[in-house]
């Protein structure tokens, strides 16, 4: 069995009293004060996350853009320097290899942030597509990533940086100094809130994390673990690889069609174009159990409402207690052949529980929770 990996902030997490968990081959903080408190801190104030388990690839030179255009569903050619975009890599059959963010740092200089569990697979896939001719470098081991998320994130970080962070638009990226540490600062995140992700040399990550934590203390910012990151992203309807996305699932099934720019020759384009024309066989929806208590977790089967017999029409991909709504919520794939039911039943511990089918996302920043 392969040994678990740790980020450079592991000892800091232990000093902060973190409960640890295993994710993507890494030993990572699940929570500190508690998932619900951390979740609510991000929604109301700010939270800081260690994301050093994520992977970072660099591309540079004349072949970099051509590789991205071939490998990604979104078109990096549309990116100006200093901008980033969400995108996906697909198999020729249209399944999702990974979802990621591409940052254009210069005319022919790019950085990719990929999921921790997919670092090796993504690296091999890109190398197969000719990444060596695109100045490819896997910088994952030497790069740390600290995220500050929430409505107070800008104020906290701006007080630590001479760079005009507050003027950055969503999905902007710039090289900056924060708390005396050189980093690549991006106005991106995975929580449904405003915030920043700071890419830094791994050896400097602890200095940066501690300085931000101290600066955020007067605003009641909290260190947050992967537990709150998961509840935050699910409320915001953001997919998690291994749950809503995998090699058997296309971006169109996951409702991510806006990040698939057809009319270009990229891997999987023909299959996705056919799905676009003919329709998908299943689609991602929000699920709200009607009793307000039952949690419909990943893998639970979904059935038509009011039928004691009959085949399942869907499967849960995520489900958890949603602190912003004070009730369980989840996501599921439903067969297109089932139509657009307003209500279904989920099999939870050998019993059927009624549930409403609702639109995604559950939560939008600036709008009161209504799920």
Note the pLDDT tens digit of each residue in 73-105. Answer: 999 999 999 999 999 999 999 999 999 999 999
pLDDT at 368: 67
Q: Please, which pLDDT band fits residue 168 given cuts at 50, 70 and 90?
A: very high
| One domain for residues 230 and 149 | yes
Question: For the segment 104-115, what is each residue's pLDDT rounded down to a tens digit?
Answer: 999 999 999 999
| One domain for residues 34 and 177 | yes
Q: Last residue of some domain: 138, 153, 184?
A: 138
225 vs 229: CA distance, rounded Å: 7
Per the model's pLDDT, the better-predicted residue between 61 and 366 turns out to be 61
In the predicted model, is pLDDT for residue 266 greater than 90?
yes
Question: For the segment 213-255, what is each residue's pLDDT rounded down to a tens digit?
Answer: 999 999 999 999 999 999 999 999 999 999 999 999 999 999 9
pLDDT at 370: 62
Residue 273 lies in a domain: no
| One domain for residues 47 and 149 | yes
* Averaged pLDDT for residues 314-343: 98
Residue 334 lies in a domain: yes
Residue 187 lies in a domain: yes
Residue 266: φ, ψ to 5°: -125, 165
179 vs 136: CA distance, rounded Å: 30
Mean residue pLDDT across the chain: 97
pLDDT at 1: 63
| One domain for residues 74 and 191 | no
| One domain for residues 333 and 293 | yes
CATH of the domain at 301: 2.40.30.110
Residue 248 lies in a domain: no
Question: For the segment 5-46, what is each residue's pLDDT rounded down to a tens digit?
Answer: 999 999 999 999 999 999 999 999 999 999 999 999 999 999
Task: Please tell me whether the peptide bond between 261 and the residue prior to it is cis, using omega within 30 degrees of 0.
Answer: no
CATH of the domain at 119: 3.30.70.1400
Question: For the segment 199-218, what is each residue's pLDDT rounded down to a tens digit?
Answer: 999 999 999 999 999 999 99
| One domain for residues 22 and 161 | yes
| One domain for residues 133 and 148 | no
170 vs 160: CA distance, rounded Å: 20
pLDDT at 149: 99
CATH of the domain at 25: 3.30.1360.120
154 vs 159: CA distance, rounded Å: 9
| One domain for residues 45 and 65 | no
Q: Please, which pLDDT band fits residue 346 given cuts at 50, 70 and 90?
A: very high
| One domain for residues 150 and 31 | yes
Which strands make up the sheet holding 109-114, listed edge to edge? Answer: 83-90, 96-106, 109-114, 55-60, 137-138
Residue 290 lies in a domain: yes
- Per DSSP, the residues of 329-341 read EEEEEEEGGG---
| One domain for residues 73 and 180 | no
177 vs 255: CA distance, rounded Å: 37
Domain carrying residue 89: 56-138
| One domain for residues 36 and 145 | yes
In the predicted model, is pLDDT for residue 308 greater than 70?
no
In the predicted model, is pLDDT for residue 170 greater than 90?
yes
Residue 265 lies in a domain: no
Structure tokens at 219: 């605003």
pLDDT at 309: 64
Element (H, E) at 184: strand 181-186
Assign 3-state DSSP to the chain and report helix, strand, coil percentages, each to 5. Answer: 25, 35, 40
329 vs 318: CA distance, rounded Å: 8
| One domain for residues 41 and 156 | yes
Residue 29 lies in a domain: yes
Question: CA dihedral in degrees (358, 236, 300, 268; nearest 10)?
Answer: 100
Q: Please, which pLDDT band fits residue 366 given cuts at 50, 70 and 90?
A: confident
Contact 99, 133 (CB under 8 A): no
User: What predicted TM-score, i.e. pTM, was given to this entire model?
Assistant: 0.96
Q: How far apart are the first and last CA of the chain?
A: 42
| Domains in the chain, number | 3
């Amino acid at each position: 069995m392969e040994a678990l990996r740790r980020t450079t902030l592991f000892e800091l997490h232990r000093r902060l009293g973190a409960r640890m968990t295993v994710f993507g081959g890494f030993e990572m903080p699940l929570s500190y004060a508690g998932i619900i408190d951390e979740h609510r801190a991000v929604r109301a104030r700010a939270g800081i996350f260690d994301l050093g388990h994520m992977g970072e690839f660099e591309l540079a030179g004349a072949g970099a853009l051509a590789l991205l255009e071939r490998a990604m569903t979104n078109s990096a050619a549309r990116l100006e320097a200093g901008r980033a975009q969400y995108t996906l890599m697909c198999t020729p059959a249209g399944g999702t290899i990974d979802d990621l963010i591409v940052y254009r740092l210069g005319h022919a200089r790019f950085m990719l942030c990929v999921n921790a569990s997919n670092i090796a697979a993504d690296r091999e896939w890109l190398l197969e597509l000719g990444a060596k001719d695109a100045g490819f470098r896997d910088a994952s081991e030497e790069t740390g990533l600290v995220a500050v998320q929430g409505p107070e994130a800008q104020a906290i970080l701006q007080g630590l940086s001479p760079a005009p962070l507050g003027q950055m638009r969503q999905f902007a990226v710039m090289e900056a100094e924060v708390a005396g540490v050189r980093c690549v600062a991006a106005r991106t995140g995975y929580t449904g809130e405003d915030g920043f992700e700071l890419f830094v040399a791994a050896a400097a990550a602890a200095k940066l994390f501690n300085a931000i934590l101290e600066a955020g203390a007067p605003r009641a910012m909290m260190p947050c673990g992967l537990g709150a990151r998961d509840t935050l992203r699910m409320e915001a309807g953001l997919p998690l690889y291994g749950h809503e996305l995998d090699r058997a699932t296309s971006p169109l099934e996951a409702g991510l069609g806006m990040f698939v720019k057809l009319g270009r020759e990229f891997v999987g384009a023909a299959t996705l174009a056919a799905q676009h024309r003919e329709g998908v066989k299943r689609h991602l929806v929000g699920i709200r159990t009607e009793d307000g208590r039952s949690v419909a977790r990943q893998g639970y089967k979904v059935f038509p409402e009011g039928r004691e017999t009959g085949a399942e029409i869907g499967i849960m991909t995520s489900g958890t207690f949603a602190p912003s709504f004070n009730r369980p919520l989840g996501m599921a794939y439903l067969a297109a052949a089932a139509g657009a039911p307003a209500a279904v039943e989920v099999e939870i511990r050998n019993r059927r529980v009624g549930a409403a089918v609702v639109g995604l996302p559950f939560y939008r920043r600036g709008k009161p929770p209504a799920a």
